[in-house]
Amino acid sequence: MKYFVWLPVTLLLCVSSVYGADGFGQYTTGGAGGATVTVTNGADFLTYVETVDTPYIIQVSGTIELADADNGRVRIQSNKTIRGIGENPTIIGSLGFKNDCSNVIIERLTITCPEDYTSEEDGISVKDRITNVFITKCTLYDCWDGCLDIARQSDWVTVSWCKFYFTTPNDNNDRVSLVGNTDSSGDEGTLHVTFHHNWFGQHCMQRMPSLRYGRGHIYNNYYHCPGNIYCIWSRIQAEALIENNYFKEVNEPYVNNRDGAPVEEWGKIAASGNILDQCTGAVHPGTDTVFTPPYVYTLTDTALVPMLVQWGAGADGQDGFPPHWMFGMYGDFDLSGFVDLSDFSTLAGYWLATENIEDADYYPNGSVDAEELALFVTHWLYIPPDTTPPAAPANLWALGKDGQAVLQWDDNEEEDLDGYNVYRSTTFEGGYTQLNASLLPAPGYADESAVNGTLYYYLVTAVDTSGNESGNSVEACAVPELTANVILQENAAGFCDVEGIVDLGKHDGFTGAGFLDTTNANGAGIDWKINIASAGTYTFAWRYANGSGDRSSRLLINGIEEAAGINFAATGAWNNWDTLSVQVSLTAGVKSVRLEATNSDGGANIDSLQVSGPAPEIAICE
């Protein structure tokens, strides 16, 4: 094993997971023992994958359009390995399975399923009593209904080293992986699924995975999909074991109640070793008792997950592990932070070697020689400069007042923090101008150049003493007016939950990142949290769109109905936006605010909630 000289033991032992079936799908052998065939078109692909009872190793070369095979979808039979070869092997369409089949491996493929390409619209659809499936080293992107769904009593599945992403947010909300289906599917006792070392990337919004009834072992995955709704959801009777995953800049890393379901329908979660890097929203405590995996596995150090997964996941992912300098500087073979005597002995072992030297051949010329030695000496006992930025400031919110906007956010905790920068724009996610001439020493800023009646967007960054600037905070918005007011937007401070979806672009004309679309059900609602610093009369104004008939809702404050029969009249189209307001007399204190539909059509689409009065503030959801 060529990496034994420096890799931690946890990395050394998990290398086998790249090459062989493991997890709940560990007994999958695919088409082993069958003939190897290479296909380059949809017709031949259909012939081999749908051949009954005959094992095949089916090699996919080039791009295969399943529209040429069976109206965009195939139904894989048992005992098949489907493997991409050559440059960028791609399937366009949906890989489905013949009911009750088993023992299928899918690997090294890029898969996409555009809108209206086929009736299923999933990239991979493991449904109807499918067992022993191993999906590894695949890239699934822009699949209209879902990238990879596993449902209807299917069982013993592993999904490993795969990459999921969307090029743009789509109207179907960028769903990734639904495990389980309806309450009538008879899924109890099935749906044992392992997800490990997968990369959930750009514009993945939800279902990473969403579990119903099943047993999900979710470990060493990398989540980096800012603007998402949630990542992992353990739902009715499900159990999720969530270990050593790295969540970066995501909302709701793992939860078990997002839709107002009764407590007896909440799934269970046991979580340990996860890193939550600049995350927002709810996080389950992870203290439930769940299943024990019936197989041997080794956890990768969570801090190394982002680098390892980005190196190895996807159809073009590289096998093995990255060379040590991707984790630091050349020569630090043991990742101690220094190039020292212990590293010199490792370099000596590589000196003039020409085989199995990928971890030391920096220049790569096929030999570890004087060039590497010179670089090693340059780094000897070198202390690299601090290039790690602070965390992005959390919980930014803005108060609109007469002729100004007042910003508040949480103070960062880094010991080397030097201060903050504030940026302003009149458009969401663009055209920002820095407002402060010098770093702000503490959280809080008053923008006294703001003009009444103008909608402004603000964001804040943190800067350390080495000059490293953090990523952006969530954006907050404010409208300076004579009456003090706060505006609550989706995926920002003060927004707690929606029984439905955060839509990021289906209809235009919204402010902020998107709008809130409740499910079409009586009682479906949206939850916010505010603080009333001074008692008095407050105006609640919703910017909304309603393309169909009138929709009725009610306003609840701390669970008590304060306004009934709020009629959101039809606006003529879903991109025609209007404003509706009610007045409420409130005592001082933190208030849970809920707008709840009182008809079976659900509520109108809500762009934002503005609360105006003597002294409104935005509170932080628990």
pLDDT of amino acid 11: 37
Cβ pair 123, 112 in contact under 8 A: yes
Which of 207, 212, 215, 235 is the catalytic position?
A: 207
Q: Using pLDDT thresholds of 50, 70 and 90, give the confidence band for residue 622.
A: confident
pLDDT of amino acid 12: 34
pLDDT of amino acid 260: 64
Tell me the pTM. Answer: 0.72
pLDDT tens per residue across span 79-91: 999 999 999 999 9
Task: Tell me the residue length of the chain.
Answer: 622
Lowest mean pLDDT among 224-233, 260-269, 276-285: 260-269
Mean predicted confidence (pLDDT) in 149-155 = 96
Per domain, the residue ranges of the chain are: 14-225, 339-383, 397-469, 488-618
Q: How far apart are CA 515 and CA 521, in angstroms?
A: 18
Kindly tell me if the per-residue pLDDT of 606 is higher than 60.
yes
pLDDT of amino acid 120: 83
Exposed / middle / buried, residue 182 (Cβ in 10 Å: 0-12, 13-18, 19+): exposed
* Average predicted confidence (pLDDT) for the chain: 92
Lowest mean pLDDT among 68-72, 295-299, 446-450: 68-72
pLDDT of amino acid 321: 85
Q: Using pLDDT thresholds of 50, 70 and 90, give the confidence band for residue 5.
A: very low
pLDDT tens per residue across span 504-557: 667 889 998 889 999 889 999 999 999 999 999 999 999 999 998 899 999 999
pLDDT higher for 565 or 260?
565
- Structurally, at CATH architecture level, domain 14-225 sits in 3 Solenoid (2.160)
Helices and strands (H and E) in the chain: how many: 7, 44
pLDDT of amino acid 429: 77
Kindly tell me if the per-residue pLDDT of 119 is higher than 90.
no
Q: CB within 8 A of 580, min separation 6: which ones?
A: 541, 542, 544, 566, 567, 568, 569
Q: Which CATH class is domain 488-618?
A: mainly beta
Cα 370 off chain centre by: 45
pLDDT of amino acid 278: 86
pLDDT of amino acid 168: 85
pLDDT of amino acid 172: 60
pLDDT of amino acid 428: 86
Kindly tell me if the per-residue pLDDT of 573 is higher than 90.
yes
pLDDT of amino acid 174: 81
Kindly tell me if the per-residue pLDDT of 108 is higher than 50.
yes
pLDDT tens per residue across span 15-73: 333 358 999 999 999 999 999 999 999 999 999 999 998 999 999 999 999 998 888 99
Kindly tell me if the per-residue pLDDT of 476 is higher than 60.
yes
pLDDT higher for 115 or 618?
618
Beta bridge partners of 57: 36, 81
pLDDT of amino acid 223: 98
Task: Find, among 519, 550, 393, the residue nearest to 458 by Cα.
Answer: 393
Kindly tell me if the per-residue pLDDT of 295 is higher than 80.
yes
Q: How far apart are CA 247 and CA 1, in angstroms?
A: 30
pLDDT of amino acid 247: 97
Cα 593 off chain centre by: 27
DSSP H or E stretch at residue 370:
helix 370-378
Given this chain, do its domains 397-469 and 488-618 carry the same CATH topology?
A: no
pLDDT of amino acid 353: 92
Exposed / middle / buried, residue 103 (Cβ in 10 Å: 0-12, 13-18, 19+): buried
DSSP H or E stretch at residue 497:
strand 495-498
pLDDT tens per residue across span 199-230: 999 999 999 999 999 999 999 999 999 989 89
Kindly tell me if the per-residue pLDDT of 141 is higher than 50.
yes
Kindly tell me if the per-residue pLDDT of 3 is higher than 50.
no
Mean predicted confidence (pLDDT) in 429-454 = 95
Kindly tell me if the per-residue pLDDT of 7 is higher than 60.
no
pLDDT of amino acid 170: 65
Lowest mean pLDDT among 159-163, 390-394, 403-407: 390-394
pLDDT above 90: percentage of residues in the chain: 82
Q: How far apart are CA 310 and CA 299, in angstroms?
A: 17
pLDDT tens per residue across span 96-107: 999 999 999 999
pLDDT of amino acid 430: 80
How many Cβ atoms are within 10 Å of 535's Cβ, its own excluded?
A: 14
Helix axes 341-350, 370-378, angle to 10 degrees: 170
Q: Is 73 a catalytic residue?
A: no
Mean predicted confidence (pLDDT) in 360-385 = 93
pLDDT tens per residue across span 154-193: 999 999 999 999 998 766 668 999 999 877 778 899 999 9
| CATH code for residues 397-469 | 2.60.40.10
CA atoms within 13 A on the CB side of 144: 14
Tokens of 562: 């304060």
Q: CB within 8 A of 253, min separation 6: which ones?
A: 223, 230, 231, 232, 245, 247, 274, 276, 279, 281, 283
Instruction: Map residue 361 onto helix, strand or coil.
Output: coil
